[in-house]
Amino acid sequence: MAELNYNHLRYFWAVAQDGNLSRTAARLNVSQSALSVQIRKLEERLGHALFERRGRALHLTEAGRITLDHAEAIFRAGEELLGTLKETGTARQAVRIGALATLSRNFQISFVGPLLARTDIEVVLRSGSQGELLTALQSLALDVVLTNQAPASDALTPFIVHKLSEQPVSLIGTPALLGETRAVADLLRAHPVILPIAGSGVRTGFDALVDRLGLRPQIAAEVDDMAMMRLMVRAGFALAVLPPIVVRDELGAGVLAEAEALPGIAETFLAVTIERRFPNPVVRDLIEAATQAAR
C-alpha cells in the first residue's frame, strides 16, 4: 500500500485555509495547475473528493472536513516534536491549558496563577466541553485539561487523572436572605435553591442529602455553569449549592455569606493529562503546586 504523501497533505491544508485555489497558489508561489495536481493526487490516494466548487470558492466535502481535522493534528504533532526536542531540559514557551467551560473561574486562575508573572511563558487557555477538550488533549493541541468530571480511561485512551483539590460545598446566599439562620435544614425549608444540573457529582450528593433529611426543597433553577450560578445567587432571590471558592471574592466583600457546609458533599477539581514521551515540564510543576496548596 502506498504511503500518504505529506506534501500533498500540506498543500491541501493550505487550500482549505484559503478556500481559493488561485489565492493559495500565489501565496505559495506555485502554479495553479501544479497545486491542482497535488490536490488531485491526494484525493486519488484517499479515494474521496475533498472539495466541491461553489462559484469561485472551494468548500470542503465531508471527507475533506475529516481530512482537515487529521491534517491539523498531524502538523500540530510535528510542531510539538520540533519544539520539544529543541528545548529538551528547558521550560517550554507555551503552556496550553483546556478548562471545562462550566468550571469555576477562581479555580482556573488559582491553577495558572504561578505562570502569570513569568515573562518566559505564554499561557494559552481554552474552554470547551469535556469531549472537545479531551480530543484536543489526545491530538496534542493541549497539554492539560482542567475539569470536575473524571474521564473514562482504557487502553486506547490512557488518560492520567490528577486530583488537585476537593472543595467543600455549602449553601450560599446574600446576608439578607440568610438572616441569622445558618442551619441547612431550616434554610432549605424557608428558601428556594439554585442547583447544579442532574447527573453532576454535587447534585447527586445534594439529592441524597435532602432525601435523608426528608426535605423537598423548592428548586429555583438548575444550572450547569458555576459563573451563572454566581450571578444568580448574587441577585438575592434564592440560595445556591456551591463550593465557596466559586464566590470567594463575594464572600470576602460581604456581598454573599456562607451557611453550614453540606455534609458529605464536595466538588473535586482534576487535571487530566496523557502519557507523552516528552511531557511539558511546566504542567508537571503546576500540578504539583496545586496539589501542595490543597494540603
Which three cell numbers, joined as nine digits, stand for 273? 493529562
Which three cell numbers, joined as nine digits, stand for 291? 496539589
- Domain definitions of the chain by residue range: 6-74, 91-165+270-294, 167-265
Query: Which pLDDT score, from 0 to 100, does residue 86 have?
Result: 64
Class of domain 91-165+270-294: alpha beta
- Of 47, 50, 44, 46, the closest CA to residue 62 belongs to 50
71 in Cβ contact with 258 (< 8 Å)? no
In this structure, the number of other CB atoms found within 10 A of the CB of residue 124 comes to 12
Class of domain 6-74: mainly alpha
Cite the DSSP H helix spans in 179-269: 184-190, 201-213, 226-234, 248-253
Mean pLDDT of 233-239: 94
Domains 91-165+270-294 and 167-265 share a fold: yes
Mean pLDDT of the chain: 86
The per-residue pLDDT for range 76-92, each reduced to its tens digit, is 777 767 766 665 544 44
Correct CATH for 167-265 of 3.40.190.10, 3.30.930.10, 3.30.565.10, 3.40.50.300: 3.40.190.10
> Whole-angstrom distance between the N-terminal and C-terminal Cα of the chain?
55
Under the banding of pLDDT at 50, 70 and 90, the label for residue 294 is: low
Maximum Cα–Cα distance for the chain, whole Å?
79
The phi-psi region of residue 214 (left if phi > 0; otherwise alpha if psi is between -120 and 50; otherwise beta) is: left
Query: Which pLDDT score, from 0 to 100, does residue 92 have?
Result: 47
Q: Scanning the structure block, which residue is given the C-alpha cell 435523608? A: 212
Residue 218: phi, psi to the nearest 5?
Answer: -80, 125
Question: Of residues 118 and 256, which shows the higher confidence score?
Answer: 256
Question: Is residue 96 pLDDT above 80, yes or no?
Answer: yes
Strand partners of residue 269? 165
- Give the integer Cα–Cα distance in Å for 277 and 213: 51
Does the reported pTM lie above 0.75? no
The per-residue pLDDT for range 6-56, each reduced to its tens digit, is 888 889 988 888 888 888 888 888 898 888 999 999 999 989 999 888 877
